[in-house]
Structure 1
Amino acid sequence: MSTPLAVGNSRVKEARKLSRRSVRTERRLFLADGPKAVEGALSVAGCVVEVFATAQAREQHAALLAGVEVTLVDDRAMDSLSDSVSPAGVVAVCRPVDAPLERVVEAAPRLLAICADVRDPGNAGTVIRTADAAGADGVVLAGQSVDPYNAKTVRATVGSLFHLPLALEPDPVAAVRAAQHRGLTVLAADGAGEVDLFDADLTGPTAWLFGNEAWGLPDELAAVADHRVAIPILGRAESLNLSTAAAVCLYASARAQRS
């Protein structure tokens, strides 16, 4: 058995640099931390560049890593590669999986999630995971949204980052227009919307437009959508957070499209 690489090893050091966005952008590489993320990455052809694992994790996840060339590292080296409080012992260096917006919308999607200026890694990752669970055909991170390859975002997707198409679009209006051009009705999730979610027609191809966690959707962006839809608040809660609102809307569409 080869000697596990230590924290000072040059390969470990180079991989650790991918914790910085500037390095991820320059190298077009990122880290997938944990067995679910690594499993998802391994399911995408050509995505995984290298897998690091501790000896214990390689044994524990033998089925996952069967046939995979694994670089053994010691516990300190793994701690340096993972930003988890309790590292699972397996991390993969991966190539980005995002696709051009045009390719995502040209695939005749029936359900999309468009996130505009979503800054929180946990929220972005949870929306991607929820979209995957609801059977959506893709997610668009638009505007000044968080880097989807941020370690916290990747972890929050629990592998869903690798399951459905993802597009990055600097211009939220362009994302909305692209969806509309392909025949999707764009619905802006807006607490002040003129359409109640319970009354909305969700049977056709739909793209949900979600805004920033703190200030929601700017009026000028919401105006580009076909309708503004409000989730009814039936109790005394002031509002729903972004990821919860996304789950409600996406599953409402999924149910309507399956009925």
Structure 2
Amino acid sequence: MLITSKDNAAVKALKKLLSTPKRSDERIVLEGIHVCQAFLAQGGRPFKVWVAESSQMNLEIAELLMTLQTERVAVNRLPDAIFRELSILEQGASIIFEVVRPTETAWLTEGNAILLDGVQDPGNMGSILRSAAAAGVRHVYLNSTCVNPFSPKVLRAAVGAHFSLHIVEHVNLIELMGYLRQHGTQTIATSSYAASNLYDLNLNQAVAWLMGNEGAGVAQALIEAADMRAYIPMRHGESLNVAAAAAVCLFEMQRQQRH
């Protein structure tokens, strides 16, 4: 279907999902070739698809559209000017999926996890989710002060990682740490002021990593509730960006657990 008016009700609804996403939204928006490919690769089915007229000539997008056609998914085409007004990408051909927002609530005890306290930057959140998926961590728990993990900017930064993760929001992290401890998972809080060096830890059992806010770090009450506290040794500077710190910790854990 070709839609030529930006005042179309469906276009207005899409613009709202892109510009002012809410946790109460029943749908989320995926934009970009790679994140949409990842969604389909995990067996997802979009509710609506949007594409600029000129983007249909892009080979990767054309392949996506052919796949959607075989599954009888309707595609809405927009003039380039209208699509560009909606898009959150700065350049390049693009495609948009509207999909159902995941709603996970269960606390799972098998395997490693990452617990996030007040991570606010969408880029950091997306990078952490991407590192978690790459390191084989499947369980991610967020307290209520974290950024919306399904906002378009987070989804873009994570590049499809969401679809291999179990993400639970609005979690009381102290209660969760107690629950995980009862099931054999050790909780480790990261802090520049901790006594234990990350590389001296034995990480050969299930680990739940606790990462904190970009400015304040992990809340003191959470640090005290954790089983262990660790710092990342550095030659220069006092601390790492939270996304970088998460990647270092997760891949050190993966290295140890591989052997």
TM-score (norm 2): 0.90
SS of residue in 2 equivalent to 1:223: helix
Amino acid at match of 1:29: R
2:54 and 2:80 in contact (8 A); partners too: no
Q: Deviations over 1:60-97 (max 9, x none)?
A: 22222323132111112222332222253201111112
1:173-184 mapped onto 2 (5 Å cutoff): 173-184=174-185
1:196 and 1:230 in contact (8 A); partners too: yes
Aligned to 1:16: 15
Task: Give the Cα separation in 2 of the matches to 1:182 and 1:80.
Answer: 49
Q: Does 1:85 align with 2:90?
A: yes
Task: Give the Cα separation in 2 of the matches to 1:96 and 1:3.
Answer: 26
Task: Give the Cα separation in 2 of the matches to 1:26 and 1:80.
Answer: 24
How far did residue 48 of structure 1 move?
A: 1.9
1:58-97 mapped onto 2 (5 Å cutoff): 58-60=56-58, 61-68=61-68, 69=73, 70-86=75-91, 88-97=93-102
Identity %, equivalent residues: 28
Aligned to 2:25: 27
Task: Give the Cα separation in 2 of the matches to 1:101 and 1:161.
Answer: 16
Q: Deviations over 1:113-138 (max 9, x none)?
A: 11111111111110000111111122
Q: CA RMSD for the aligned pairs?
A: 1.9
How far did residue 256 of structure 1 move?
A: 0.7
Q: Can you give the 5+ residue segments of structure 2 that lack an aligned partner in the other structure? A: none
Amino acid at match of 2:186: T
Aligned to 1:52: 50
Task: Give the Cα separation in 1 of the matches to 2:197 and 2:239.
Answer: 15
Aligned to 2:170: 169
How far did residue 174 of structure 1 move?
A: 2.6
Distance change (3 Å), C-alpha of 1:3 and 1:76:
same
How far did residue 39 of structure 1 move?
A: 1.8
Distance change (3 Å), C-alpha of 1:85 and 1:229:
same
1:7 and 1:74 in contact (8 A); partners too: no
Task: Give the Cα separation in 2 of the matches to 1:198 and 1:45.
Answer: 38
Task: Give the Cα separation in 2 of the matches to 1:132 and 1:26.
Answer: 25
SS of residue in 1 equivalent to 2:7: coil
SS of residue in 1 equivalent to 2:255: helix
Amino acid at match of 2:2: T
Q: Does 1:239 align with 2:235?
A: no
How many residues get paired?
A: 252
1:121-160 mapped onto 2 (5 Å cutoff): 121-160=122-161
Amino acid at match of 2:77: L
Aligned to 1:218: 219
Distance change (3 Å), C-alpha of 1:247 and 1:98:
farther
Aligned to 1:228: 229
Amino acid at match of 2:32: G
SS of residue in 2 equivalent to 1:51: strand
Distance change (3 Å), C-alpha of 1:117 and 1:132:
same
2:53 and 2:80 in contact (8 A); partners too: no
Aligned to 1:258: 258
Q: Can you give the 5+ residue segments of structure 1 that lack an aligned partner in the other structure? A: none
Task: Give the Cα separation in 1 of the matches to 2:42 and 2:67.
Answer: 15
Runs of 4 or more, structure 1, over 4 Å off, are 44-47
